[in-house]
Chains A and B, each alone.
Chain A
Amino acid sequence: MLCSCCKKNTATIHFTEIINGVTHKMHLCEQCAKEKKIDVELPFSFSDVLSALSEGLEALAHPASRSEAAGTRCAHCGLTMHEFTKSGRLGCPHCYDAFETPLRDIIRSVQKAPHHTGKVPEAFMKTEGTRQRIAELERALQQAVADERYEDCVALRDELRQLRASLEQHANA
């Protein structure tokens, strides 16, 4: 097939253009495509896979709220779900919370695993241990209150106060 523009070279680029609902089929040679500034390199990238995945998942889960989900915004950096699926990149660490539901499915399908089992930073380990201990003590305190063991309550409250203070210190450091 000859190029529909210069009618000399062999057409190697075939594409369909839709303007206002009218379909045009174009067959161009590489040179004419370049002159018309048509991007001949359309690499299939992770973001293509991503948008296909997230659209598919969204449509399955909430057929009505797709456009709404696409507009979800990260409160910290302002990135929208739509921007994420277009670029394949999240905006900041908080995006992992902001887009929790769609990300969970995307991560499960690209990574084949739901959560991290590798190395944990030392600083995180310290604060995480403290957080878990606080949760335990809070449960123990509720139980002590319910059982009317007031001496235990005082001891538990003291320990909780100390742990919360140390966590705050860590956060400010």
Chain B
Amino acid sequence: MPTLDAILQHRPQWLVPTSPGGSIAVSTRVRLARNLAGLPFPHRCSPAQRRDVIARVQAAAARTASLRDARLYQLDGLSPLDRQTLVECHLISPEFAAQDAPAALLVTPDQSCALMLNEEDHLRMQVLREELHLDASWELMQRIEQELEAGLSFAFSARYGYLTACPTNVGTGLRASVMLHLPALVHEHKMGSVISAVGKVGIAVRGLYGEQSEAYGNLFQVSNQITLGRSETEIVRQLHHIVSRIIEHEQATREKLIRSAPHKLRNDIGRAYGTLKYAEILTSKEATELLSMLLMGIDLHILTDVSRARIADLLLEIQPAHLQRRCKQTLTSEQRDIARAALIRERLAAPPAEDAP
């Protein structure tokens, strides 16, 4: 089995920005749930059946153009730290990381396609891209699925479509989501009305970090909840419309903030920058919130001596497993807060030329 470094040495594709003006949409994910016909769902499979699922998918993937280069990681060969790192990279779910029955991850070198084998369903396939690319992500997902379908027979019924372990995913098995950075809407206490308005049409908004009631870091996942009775294209298109509207709303709120309280906004961003540059101890929560302020400062051209890509990288690297991997040792929560502050100081002091494009 390859080591995880074979994957982690590359900068994930979703972290490479493509629009020069910065983006309120951080990343796009499209996920399909599928099960093999003729077998129980994973939680009712024997270990032998679960291994059979992995072997069959691996063989089918090897014959596809899109997954030929993908690497297979058996879950039992991954340490708790490896698993946590993959969770932080958005490649596996926390539920998947926590299980001990046979399961595996199939992932392409650029991390753009990942298949969890034996999560809640036999296959949970995802395409992960930078910024807002719903159509392109769905097209790639569709291609992967079609290529796999040549070698695998998926459980399907005429009435309910693709059959899944949980009826909340049945039908298309499609969950599309966009991660949005919404500091201005949070600052103006407008997220509550956004969440309840889009909820009425079956779209959910969840905080990326922290519990639902107190999300932090201003990062939100916006995704479709309904998977049955709508075509895949309709689901993707509806999400695109709604996400675009939320982005416009955020943009307008930022402009209003600059007009109505320019000094307050510059002050908040400047103080965030100062704290990050000189702090000795930073919790995950504090660092994420301050980095979010910096991102907004860059988008609004208030902050010009640090690149967006550097901040996006830091948001990933300051997380617990990534920090410990970097320090090559287990760290207590207090030690992590010190290591986190040190990493941020180092990155913010480096000359801009060192940035990746």
Contacts and interface: CB of A to CB of B under 8 A. Distances in A.
Interface of A: 46, 76-77, 79, 87-93, 96, 103, 106-107, 110-124, 128
Contacts of A106: 167
Interface of B: 35, 37, 39-41, 43-44, 120, 142, 149, 153-163, 165-168, 170-172, 174, 202, 226-232
Which of A77, A106, A107, A121 has the largest count of B CB atoms less than 10 A from its CB? A121
18 contacts: A46-B166, A89-B41, A89-B120, A90-B165, A92-B39, A92-B44, A96-B157, A96-B160, A107-B160, A110-B167, A113-B228, A114-B159, A116-B170, A116-B228, A118-B172, A118-B231, A121-B149, A122-B149
Given A121-B156, A124-B156, A111 B172 contact: no
Given A111-B229, A113-B171, 18 more contacts: A77-B40, A88-B166, A90-B167, A91-B40, A91-B43, A92-B44, A93-B155, A106-B167, A107-B160, A107-B170, A115-B229, A116-B157, A116-B158, A116-B172, A118-B232, A121-B154, A123-B149, A124-B158
Contacts, number: 104
Contacts of A77: 40, 44
A111 B228 CA distance: 6
Nearest to A99: B167
Given A46-B166, A113-B226, A118-B161, A92 B149 contact: no
Contacts of B158: 116, 124, 128
Contacts of A122: 149
B156 A120 contact: yes
B40 A92 contact: yes
Which of A76, A91, A103, A128 has the largest count of B CB atoms less than 10 A from its CB? A91
A116 B229 contact: yes
Contact of B41 (A46, A90, A115, A128): A90
Contacts of A113: 171, 226, 228-230
B172 A79 contact: no
Contact of B165 (A89, A103, A110): A89
A87 B43 contact: yes
B156 A103 contact: no
A172 to B, nearest CB: 12
A81 to B, nearest CB: 13
Given A92-B40, A119-B232, A111 B163 contact: no
Nearest to B32: A119
A58 to B, nearest CB: 16
